[in-house]
Structure 1
């Protein structure tokens, strides 16, 4: 399976298939590149080279003690695009994968990019008077300990989580190797750093089209975050996916694939 070595000597895995204008898919916290398998066929059929990226400590990539910061994950995305010499790229990030994209844009601007798609990731996870679209119950006062509690993700909001066994089976049928999520205490500093970020100014400064997707029934935050985020940039638009929770590309894979294909066609 292909790997490349990032600038800090960390080996990072990716899948690479198809031909045409490139689309790079980046999974969320704990999820592997395989979690995008349900979109691979539609994107390849639409004439795209499809790259699915395992961030450090995710999937089959290395798990070094260093680099548990979203900024480093943005640099890793930069290193991937440079390694594959990809230009005119549509980058697609789900959850924390979206934050890796915003980190890339914050560091490098929209270099090499044709478009940006984020899947159910609010740009600011801490709720405040000017941003009520953060993670349910997360405030500046409880940020330091909030995610140390195992029940933090059980917000009481949104739809039921997809069945793990059924999801794994669908991913395997689509050519992936299952979800094999990996969340351990080693990665908590990354989750904390992720939760501290406010990407609203980054979104406001983008110079390529952006599609902000939200799950209508997200377990983590109100779907209104998408419209509020898109309002900060004339190049962004929001779409709420009906019947989808936080992992919208798993809950409604065909719908998300259609939105990705339509977006890439519109930015060609």
Structure 2
């Protein structure tokens, strides 16, 4: 299985299949690269080289004691693109994978990128009167303890979560090796750092096209975050996926694959 060594000597795993203009897929918190398996065939059929990236502590990548910050994950994405010498890349991030892309852009600009797709990730998770599109119930006064509560993700909003066994079976049928989710107390500092970020200024400064996708029935935040985010940049537009919760690429895999393929063709 292909791996490379990032600049801090952490070995990171990725899949690399197909040929053509590259699309790099980055999964969310706790999810492996295999969580994109339901999009692989459509992207390859559209003529793309498809790279699916396991962030540190995710999937088959190393689990170092250091680097539990979104900025480090952005640097890891930079190291991956440099390792593969990729240019003209469409990067696609779901949930925390989207924050990884914004961290990359914050550090390196839109170097090597042709376009950006984010899947159900608000750029600011903390709610306030000027931004009501954050994580349901999360505010500055409860940020320190919010995600320590075992039921924090059970917001009472959105659609029913996908059945894990059925999702795992679908991923295996599509050529992945299963979800193998990894969420442990070791990675809570990463989740906290993720929740603290405000990427709105980064979105406003992008120099390539961006597609901000929301699940219509997200369990974590209002779908209006997509249009509010897209309004920050003249190069961004929004799409809302009907019948999808937060893991839109699992709930409505064909729709998300189509959105990525159509966007990548327009960004060429």
- 3-state SS of paired residue (1:152): coil
Q: 1:131 matched to which residue of 2?
A: 131
Gaps of 5+ in 2: none
Q: 1:160 matched to which residue of 2?
A: 160
Query: 5 Å matches for 1:28-47?
Result: 28-47=28-47
1:22-57 Cα distance to aligned partner (Å, 9 max, x none): 000000000000000000000000000000000000
1:125-145 Cα distance to aligned partner (Å, 9 max, x none): 000111000000000000000
1:201-223 Cα distance to aligned partner (Å, 9 max, x none): 00000000000000000000000
- 3-state SS of paired residue (2:152): helix
The 1-side partners of 2:233 and 2:95 are apart by 20
Shift of 1:71: 0.1
The 1-side partners of 2:78 and 2:129 are apart by 34
Shift of 1:235: 0.2
The 2-side partners of 1:240 and 1:173 are apart by 27
The 2-side partners of 1:181 and 1:169 are apart by 14
Q: 2:173 matched to which residue of 1?
A: 173
The 1-side partners of 2:129 and 2:239 are apart by 24
**Ranges of 4+ aligned residues in structure 1 off by more than 3 Å:** none
- 3-state SS of paired residue (2:148): coil
1:216-263 Cα distance to aligned partner (Å, 9 max, x none): 000000000000000000000000000000000000000000000000
Query: 5 Å matches for 1:110-121?
Result: 110-121=110-121
- 3-state SS of paired residue (1:261): helix
**TM-score between both structures, scaled by the size of structure 2:** 1.00
1:127-181 Cα distance to aligned partner (Å, 9 max, x none): 0111000000000000000000110000000000001000000000100000010
